[in-house]
Homo-oligomer: A and B are copies of this chain.
Amino acid sequence: MSQRDFVSAEEVAQRAGVSRSAVSRAFTPGASVSEATRQKVLQAAEELGYQVNHLARGLMRNESGIVCLIVSDVATPYRSALLRELTLQLQLAGKVAMLINTDRSDGSVNTALQQAIRYRADASVILSGLPDKSITQLCLRSGQRLVLINRDEDQSGPLHINLDDREAAARVVTAFVRAGCSRLAFANSEAGTPSLMAREEGFIAAARDHGLEVVVERHGWTGYEAGRVLAQRLLTRKERPDAVFCATDLLACGFMDAARHQFSLSIPQQLCVVGFDDIEQASWSSYRLTTFSQPVAAIAREAVTWLSENGVVQGKSLRLHSDLVWRDSVRGG
């Protein structure tokens, strides 16, 4: 262990010629200190470079100020956008984000939550995977709040934030039929996330309402490469689809690239494509993808306000709306 020597409140107190409690109070909003000593303390602190020890404060207050963000595939555009928004909002609310990267194994979310408990995080936000019920129970019992984003699976304690995936999928169908498409396809990943499945099911159901069948393919883990493979599969069918809804923009990008460069199809003339997430790349002029925007800012805002409410809060379930942003990958926008 290296030499660690942070300046403590004691030293500040001595320099300012006051008691240690005065120092503590000077850094506690709303505490009973005269302006005079407050200034003395603040100056001494400034000179010494004192910063309140949040480990100790957290220990006393039983409130660490830490919020744990549990997420896999951080490097993915949608995930990182949500992450940015969350950290931003958290900082604005005076909290700080602890980032835990999970892989796709079941246990990894559990260990992440245990880590959150060890650091006595005020709350955890889960963006990927699903923890065992026993662990969530432990969290709630310990007084740790939980936010589940796009994880469905209603439990009673946590805050659930979901999108209107099914309705969105229905809107895609009407867009496709309005564009004159009839051979619909859905390109999904094998991840089987609730929100992805909701899009798939919603799409199939809405198509059926229009008397249309849907060809579904699933492959890989919601990335660009998977999109290419799905294109390979779907575009080589004898009845080639003329409209495909991709569960994700990343899939859509891969799909479009394969469709154009490998199958020489022109979009939207020969093939209409819709994605989901509205990642930055969807707006790039090589894609100009029609897609649904994830209301990341709203999600983050809802999450942060809920978890910084004081008093005992109860879980609730929010369903946010995702706008269809029209670009050029569907005819007749």
Residues of A within 8 A of B (CB): 1-7, 49, 51-56, 58-59, 61-64, 66, 69, 73-77, 79-81, 83-84, 87-88, 91, 96-101, 114-115, 117-120, 138, 141-145, 224, 253-254, 257-258, 260-262, 280-281, 284-287, 310-313
Contacts and interface: CB of A to CB of B under 8 A. Distances in A.
A118 B53 contact: yes
A320 to B, nearest CB: 19
Contacts of A75: 77, 80-81, 83-84, 280
Interface of A is mostly: mixed
Contacts of A100: 87, 91, 96-97
Given A53-B59, A96-B98, A101-B88, A285 B261 contact: yes
A308 B49 CA distance: 25
Nearest to A227: B284
Contact of A2 (B2, B73, B145): B145
Given A3-B143, A143-B6, A55 B58 contact: yes
Contacts of A143: 2-6
B119 A54 contact: yes
Contact of A4 (B2, B79, B97, B142): B142
Q: 7 closest pairs, A vs B, by CB?
A: A4-B143, A80-B80, A286-B286, A87-B101, A75-B84, A99-B99, A257-B285
A2 B312 contact: yes
A87 B142 CA distance: 26
A114 B3 contact: no
B224 A118 contact: no
Given A49-B138, A49-B141, A66-B98, 5 more contacts: A4-B144, A55-B120, A84-B101, A91-B100, A286-B287
23 contacts: A2-B143, A2-B312, A6-B142, A51-B114, A54-B120, A55-B55, A55-B59, A55-B64, A55-B119, A66-B98, A75-B280, A77-B77, A83-B99, A88-B101, A97-B99, A97-B101, A98-B98, A99-B99, A257-B285, A258-B285, A261-B286, A262-B285, A286-B286
Contacts of A145: 2
A117 B62 contact: no
A120 B59 contact: no
A229 to B, nearest CB: 13
Given A51-B118, A120-B53, A310 B99 contact: no
A261 B62 CA distance: 58
Contacts of A5: 141-143
Given A2-B312, A75-B80, A101-B87, A56 B53 contact: no
A312 B81 contact: no
A205 B49 CA distance: 44
A37 to B, nearest CB: 22
A253 B284 contact: yes
Task: Find the residue from A59, A144, A280 having the highest chain B CB count within 10 A.
Answer: A280
A101 to B, nearest CB: 4
